Structure 1
Amino acid sequence: MTDTSLRIASYNIRKALGTDRRRDPARVLRVIAALGADVVALQEADLRLGQRRPIFDEAEVFRRTGLLPVRFDHGRDSLGWHGNALLVSPGFRVISQSHHDLPGLEPRGLVSALLERDGRRLRVTGVHLGLLRHSRRRQLSALLDMLPEEEDTAMLIAGDFNERSLEVGLGRLSKRFRILSGGPTYHSRHPVFALDRIAISEGFTMAEASVHRSPEASRASDHLPLVADLRLSHMADDGADISQLL
């Protein structure tokens, strides 16, 4: 069987508040649509207070991008958890999904989904790590402890890692994952720091990362989207159709 090609993206949308100080969810959705991604991990997809109301209407997400939000059972109005959300192509089946809190001085969390397409399984985890390095290290340790051992399953972790250095700070993760950085993603108008990363496990036969740049992306958020083109070689079996989650 041939490998499965995937495009994965990570995008901190800052609650759709652009660099021009306009909150414009439709503009963010246009940027997401332009990525052509099969899976998008979003950060800051929900407002911070109350029921953490989502920035987007789920039906509008699908209409404008062709992607479906993975639903998480947490009793909130939120699209995800602690602002983390996953959008996936209808071509995937969602076998399971979960959300977790992470330790640290700031409220942080992650979302995770086990996906299947073309007989391959893929676990995607979306995360937004803390601003302080010692908190990030605790969060990475907790994240690695939470990841289940799954046979014939490739794994990737996508998100805003909030780590400016390409040399230190992510050592816990690099022992088990290859960390991709396509270049600086922050600040979107004048990118200097590669805060956004995608980490991949074994099971990928090709991986190339790049930063999506466009005039609209430079205005839509203070981060630019990170995109990775991957080839997945793992086998899988059955799961639940994503339409059952809508």
Structure 2
Amino acid sequence: MVDSGVPLRVVSYNVHGQRDDTAALAAVVRQVAPDVVIVQEGPRRFRWRAKSATLAASLGLVVAGGGLPALGNLLLTSLRVRVTGVRHQRYPLTPGRHLRGAAYADCVVGTGARFTVAGSHLATDPAERPGQAQLFKRELDAAPYPVIAAADLNDDPGGPAWRTVSRGLTDAAVAADRADRLTYSCANPRRRIDAVFVDPRISVVDYDVLDTPLTRRASDHFPILVDLRLPAVD
């Protein structure tokens, strides 16, 4: 195990619009005590600010950014993490399809280790996904600090959108030799369409897809849990 750098625990979770067992959802996240949660399908409509704050509080976290401006992508943090900047992105709308977007937050943790966390949820339409992946990747490449990016890509490893987003980054599942852990669906696990990618300067200490009775009640996606070490501050 890597013994230098600043530890950071990250969860990526498509919460299915909180349409399932919300008590189970809260218990799943609280049990692993993450520093950062990257949410897909979070609140994005009426009273989205209050709903986002309620979701964050249920998980023992605070809202860093996202919600309606990022079309349901929500970034939550523990009080250990300080957020210094937030940006949102909306992808072009294809008529008749859902609006999609992304959220980005620049953060500081520990004695000054900086990172940029990003989250997105790409389209189910294979004609839309590649363009959205390119827009997401452009922002990741422009991030001021080492990137931690999580997404429901709606694409399989090796697919066009997956290749675009992962270029130059480390696939945390591959780094931990756990790329066989499937993320969707909880009812019939058959695909790995959810992923966490990190800057090569960030070490992947551990990676898991949490398949438990609670997670099978909480959403239609399994959450990803990743333990990282950020580059040590000089």
Match of 2:222 among 215, 224, 231: 224
- Deviations 1:72-130 (CA, angstroms, capped at 9, x unpaired): 5xxxxx47621110110101111100111023533100011000012111100010011
Pairing partner for 2:182 from 166, 180, 184: 184
Matched to 1:168, the amino acid is G
TM-score normalised according to structure 1 size: 0.80
1:35-54 equivalences in 2 (<5 Å): 35-46=32-43, 50-51=45-46, 53=48
TM-score (norm 2): 0.84
Report what 1:202 is aligned to. 200
Of residues 25, 28, 38, the one that matches 1:28 is 25
Residue identity in the other structure for 1:69 = V
Q: How far apart are 1:228 and its partner, in Å? A: 1.1
The within-5 A match list for 1:1-246 is 2-18=4-20, 24-46=21-43, 50-51=45-46, 53=48, 56=51, 58=53, 61-62=56-57, 64-71=58-65, 78=67, 81-103=70-92, 105=94, 106-118=98-110, 119-147=112-140, 149=142, 153-163=145-155, 165-169=156-160, 170-181=162-173, 182=178, 183-233=181-231, 235=233
Q: How many percent of aligned residue pairs carry the same amino acid? A: 26
Moved over 6 A (4+): none
Q: How many Å separate the matches in 2 of 1:127 and 1:35? A: 22
CA–CA distance in 2 between the matches of 1:100 and 1:57? 18
Which is helix-richer, 1 or 2? Answer: 2
The unaligned stretches of length 5 or more in structure 1 are 19-23, 73-77, 237-246
The worse-fitting range, judged by mean Cα deviation, of 227-236 and 103-112 is 227-236
Partner in structure 2 of residue 239 of structure 1: none
Q: CA RMSD in A?
A: 2.4
Change over 3 Å in CA distance of 1:33–1:143 after alignment to 2 = same
Conserved 8 A contact 1:71-1:79:
no
Question: Unpaired runs of 5+ in structure 2?
Answer: none
